[in-house]
A and B are shown apart, each in its own frame.
Chain A
Amino acid sequence: MKTSGRILAQKVQDIQTSGRLSIRSASLPTWCPGCGYFGIHQGLNNAIQQLSLPHHSIVTVTGIGCAGRYAFFNNTYSFHVTHGRTLPVATGVKLANPALTVFAIGGDGDGLAIGGGHLPHMARRNINVNYLLFDNSMYGLTKGQPSPSSPVGTKTKVSPAGTFEMPLNASLLGLSYGTTFAARLFAGDPESITQALIEGIRHEGFSFFHIYTTCLTFDKENKTWEHLKERVHPLPQKYDCSNLSKAMAHILEDDFSTGVIYKKS
């Protein structure tokens, strides 16, 4: 672990000194080495870079949990708020100053449990905020409890006999709430994250990015790198992202396809 940490620190330093990613802040990410969040970080930073967004014109509103710490790792304005409340705060920021590019970032506990009541209304208001939901089906920062997207039978310290609750499907929720732009992505594929983000940031309205990722410290069974890599695949070639009912039908049939699943034309 220690060695990989040092290698990582060296990597980040190299990137910083090269000036290629001035978007990164001086604080090194505190995520566990090998965490899926690094891939999302890279994907988002590349999108910001490619769109040449001035860093001071970006506000990143983050929730609580490992994903919430994102606030400290980027060289943008950021507001690390309370658990589950990224979307309301982002709404205030965007309405107050529409010239800002606003990202809301939180995990699956933040967005589907404690803050689950905000997503439908964010979709209804369709305010131009880009929401990244990091979905690893695990509460990591509190050391491994099941989340609303954990499969039935998930065993943790607080669910030794396995969970009995059915998992939520964030992408399906996003579509049913009327989100005007929805993408399902995979942390292991930063390039596709960048492409979808570029499209979503340009979208005039609320953009929802449901991103599969892993908690390699506490999840040894469900969304592990191995499992995700094995299952995740791009959307079918002839997929039509402008058709809502087909998008919903597809999401119900296929849990692991990635790409822009819906865009209201």
Chain B
Amino acid sequence: MPGVDLTIEICGMSGDGTIAAGTLLNEALSGAGFSIIGFDSYPAEIRGFGRCVTRSRFGTSRMLALSDHTHVLISLDDQQAISRISMLGKNAKVLFDNKPAGTVQEGMSIAAHTAPDADLYGMPFTDLASEAAGTTRGKNLAALGCFTGLAGIDPRFFYTVIEKKFRAKGETVLNANLNSFNAGLTYAHTHFEDAPLVITAPAPEKKKVQRIMLSGNAAIARGALDAGLALYFGYPITPATPIMEYLAKTLPQKGGKVVQMEDEISSIGAVLGSFYAGKRAMTATSGPGLALMAEMISLGVMSETPAVIVDAQRGGPSTGLPTKTEQSDLHAAVFGGPGDSPRIVIAPTDVAECYQFTLKSFELAEKYQTPVIVLTDFFLDNRVENVAAADISGKKRVDGNIYPPKKEQGRYQRYLVTPSGISPRALPGSEGYIYPATGLEHTEAGLPDYSEPVHMQMNAKRHTKIRQALADLPPPKEFSQKGPLDLGVIAWGSSFGAALEAVLKARKKGLAVGALKVISLFPYHEEQIRQFMSRCRRVLIPELNFQGQLANLIGHLHHGDVVRFNRTTGTPLLPSEILLKIQELLQKDNT
């Protein structure tokens, strides 16, 4: 039997419980053993047009990206869901609330809008809930019950998550929701005897893997907490704000503080102050905030002060597209700020890496005494994945600080030039190591000095240090067969999953194609990237920005053609379009 790979959308008006239903669906499917990637879309306006959509792709193999089409659409409000019809694939199933004729506004039943090949399942969600629980509020649960019945999924997976979600709200609420769900389930069973859409749960794993449903933003916050974050300073900005919200709830319990600052400049300023005084701190922002931080980041570089900055990218330039995804801050992250100011920039490619590399960034920032930018984007921040608990916990905080030895007391030089470029760093409050830190060019003692040898020596020191960090940074990861390749696909950040899926599909078609995941964007692993490229006749770099910013950064390492594949529509890259590009390129080569 071929593996399951399905995409379900739930669409409704705000107040219909759309998001809640989507969350329950994800949790239940995760409990059934499926791999899940979910991504909700919502308008930028607070009330928007009231439309809520949750989109979940789930399957038996690991889900790497979003899919092109929706296989099942559950409509909680037809007027809203009609707009989602364009996403439906062939023979899609559409579940909708078949209210009695006359109660639906003319032309507003989804049944009148779908293509002829769609399978329509009209079921009285509202009435079922109302009869079962005495309130129409459970119509989202009734809809889930209908879906479960139609798909022949074991309802126990849903009972578990409904119980978990509503138990705390008391017996009455819990029962109302369970009854609504069961009413839908029974209705589907009695009206559609043979489940028309059989979704078989994967065989239980031999060793039970505990999975947690997590968004990229939550994973970042958890990574920071496990790193021993003491202080968070931030300024609200989409799509980074959920990190602050998560930490506002959790950090104070660990004795830390979340402080909302007056702007992004003060946020990064306070982060630098905190690290300077010896405590781990973080800020998270998006492109407009990163631009404001540029001068302070270069202060961190010059004064060799650690900092951790999350840049949750959105569409730009300027205020741009606040609720759309894009990968267009790469240049700003790597090069932003005055002068030659090398810093570390890493980009996770999935939710588990959001946790892992945020945690790692604190250690790197301390060890290399430098600002570290964790580059994510709207899609990665807001997508949910059911990650293995082992991948996002159990990591211990590693102290990256290198302190001066006792013998240096009294004659300590903060910016001592060493072979590694790293100078032991004393913390304020310690006796015998007083020094000035400064954004001016300075001597080993930290005193201003603009002379030629000093500036040359110190520039070299700062760059040596960052190059050394390569040893501690996650190297590029290759997914390909051995030997020469007709095409190598190199991708970063949230787009990597789509690139990998496209490459895997191309290989199944017999094409000699490989993928390379680049995580560390500055410094980058020049040798490994060059080696991969040298085996590729052509290189394709797909990314969600207009100019091809990764191609600009590493394209010169390739001896031949670097093909850019760029799109700025505000939506995530899809495996199908990358696959199409791969086929097109290889076809051209053969003709």
Contacts and interface: CB of A to CB of B under 8 A. Distances in A.
Interface in B278-317: 278-279, 281, 295-296, 299, 303
A77 B272 contact: no
Interface residues of B, number: 44
Given A61-B273, A85-B269, A88-B273, A118 B437 contact: no
Interface in A77-100: 77-82, 85, 87-97, 99-100
Contact of A59 (B277, B299, B438): B277
Interface stretch (B70-78, B114-122, B415-423, B424-432): B424-432
B460 to A, nearest CB: 22
B542 to A, nearest CB: 38
Contacts of B271: 92
Contact of A121 (B231, B266, B427, B434): B266
Nearest to B431: A56
Interface string A23-62: 0010100000000000000000000000000111101010
B256 to A, nearest CB: 10
A56 B270 contact: no
A125 interface: yes
B484 interface: no
A91 B270 contact: yes
Most buried by A among B270, B275, B440, B448: B270
B257 interface: yes
B233 interface: yes
B262 A117 contact: yes
Given A80-B440, A93-B276, A88 B428 contact: no
Given A72-B447, A95-B270, A97-B279, A121 B262 contact: yes
A71 interface: yes
Contacts of B438: 71-72, 79-80
B554 interface: no
A97 B262 contact: no
Most buried by A among B266, B281, B435: B266
Given A81-B299, A97-B277, A56 B429 contact: yes
Interface in B432-470: 432-440, 447-448
Given A95-B259, A96-B231, A79 B273 contact: yes
Given A72-B436, A82-B439, A92-B281, A121 B428 contact: no
Interface size class of A (residues with CB under 8 A): 35 or more
Contacts of A92: 231, 233, 269-277, 281
Most buried by B among A72, A85, A99, A118: A85
B269 A79 contact: no
Given A75-B434, A85-B296, A117-B262, A56 B428 contact: yes
A82 B29 CA distance: 52
A76 interface: yes
B16 interface: no
B178 to A, nearest CB: 47
B273 A90 contact: yes
A85 B265 contact: yes
Interface in A116-136: 117-118, 120-121, 125
Contacts of A95: 231, 257, 259, 270, 273-274, 279
Given A56-B433, A61-B273, A79-B273, A88 B261 contact: yes
Given A75-B434, A100-B277, A121-B261, A80 B269 contact: no
Given A91-B259, A95-B259, 8 more contacts: A56-B429, A71-B438, A87-B266, A91-B270, A96-B230, A100-B277, A117-B263, A118-B266
Top 8 nearest A-B pairs (CB, nearest first) are: A92-B273, A88-B269, A88-B266, A92-B270, A96-B279, A96-B277, A92-B274, A80-B438
26 contacts: A54-B431, A56-B430, A56-B432, A56-B434, A57-B428, A57-B429, A59-B277, A72-B448, A77-B429, A77-B435, A80-B439, A81-B269, A82-B299, A85-B266, A88-B266, A88-B269, A91-B233, A91-B269, A92-B233, A92-B270, A92-B272, A92-B274, A96-B277, A100-B277, A117-B263, A125-B259
